[in-house]
């Protein structure tokens, strides 16, 4: 997913620079997150109530954006995108179970090799 987003942003970089210049730059990851979530909610309205899904999306979108921006000069686009893509793959099958009585979350399955 990271590479697909990267390609989409590169093709519209000029417009993004205009819309999110200066103090508006920090609004970009939030706008990306809301757009992706809204697309998911149109297809799967019950996803709005899925706490795990919403936290994972926020974590991947916001975290991925800032990790990319902070490390791209040091690592280069191709390397940072590879790392972000690998990290996203680790989270793909992550599941947790909520203990409603104790209001705690327990990890019970992760497809990590």
pTM of the model: 0.69
Residue 33 has what pLDDT? Answer: 92
Q: Are the C-beta atoms of residues 45 and 9 closer than 8 Å to each other?
A: no
Q: How far apart are the first and last CA of the chain?
A: 20
pLDDT of 70 reads 86
Q: Report whether pLDDT(113) > 50.
A: no
16 inside domain:
no
CA distances from 3 to 77, 86, 89, 113 (A): 10, 11, 12, 22
Q: Say yes or no to pLDDT of 109 above 60.
A: no
Domain hosting 52: range is 1-7+48-113
CB atoms within 10 A of CB 80: 21
Q: Domain for residue 41, yes or no?
A: no
The pLDDT tens digits for 17-58 are 777 777 777 788 898 899 999 999 999 999 998 888 888 889
| Residue 89 belongs to some domain of the structure | yes
Q: Is residue 77 part of a domain?
A: yes
> Within a domain: residue 32?
no
Both structure tokens of 88: 């996203």
Domain membership of residue 40 (yes or no) is: no
Q: What is the mean pLDDT of residues 103-113?
A: 50
The tally of domains found in the chain comes to 1
What is the average pLDDT value for the chain, to the nearest integer?
78
φ, ψ for residue 38 (rounded to 5)? -60, -40
**pLDDT for the residue 98:** 56
Instruction: Please tell me the predicted confidence (pLDDT) of residue 112.
Output: 45
């Amino acid at each position: 997913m990271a590479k697909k987003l990267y390609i989409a942003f590169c093709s519209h970089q000029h417009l993004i620079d205009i819309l999110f210049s200066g103090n508006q730059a920090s609004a970009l990851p939030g706008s990306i997150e809301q757009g992706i979530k809204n697309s998911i909610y149109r297809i799967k309205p019950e996803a709005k109530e899925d706490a795990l899904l919403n936290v994972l999306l926020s974590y991947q979108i916001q975290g991925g954006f800032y990790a990319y921006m902070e490390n791209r000069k040091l690592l280069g686009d191709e390397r940072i995108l590879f790392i972000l893509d690998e990290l996203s793959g680790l989270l793909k099958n992550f599941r947790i179970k909520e203990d409603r009585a104790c209001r705690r979350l327990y990890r019970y399955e992760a497809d990590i090799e």
